Amino acid sequence: MRSRNPILLPKAQKVVSTLGENIKLARLRRKYSTQQVSERANISRPTLLSIEKGNPNVSIGAYVKVLMVLGLEKDITTVAKDDDLGRRLQDANLVIRERAPKRTR
């Protein structure tokens, strides 16, 4: 069975690539080798290299494992923390239509 390659919009691919690049820079700042990080995260070296290249086929669980090894797991909890658009929509008091009551026979 052939694996499906996810199709990402260029903007989304840029976000994933930037994340991978930031992870690589964090690893290099700590002077960890790819072998050390991959062993501690319990992933293969090619998976780590795919993460650092921004490959969208890598599971988010592998990203979290690597972030934990680098001591950056708290960064993942800040994703969508300040949802400006969601707050504006909530503040706009959008009318939510209720379903009509059921008819009784």
Domain count, the chain: 1
Distance of alpha carbon 84 from alpha carbon 11, whole angstroms:
19
CATH of the domain at 24: 1.10.260.40
* 12 contacts: CB under 8 Å, gap ≥ 6: 56
Is 37 domain-assigned?
Answer: yes
Q: Which domain holds residue 44?
A: 10-91
Is 71 domain-assigned?
Answer: yes
First to last CA, the chain: 53
Is 34 domain-assigned?
Answer: yes
- The mean pLDDT value for 41-46 works out to 96
Is 51 domain-assigned?
Answer: yes
pTM: 0.75
pLDDT tier, 105 (very low <50, low <70, confident <90, very high otherwise): confident
Is 33 domain-assigned?
Answer: yes
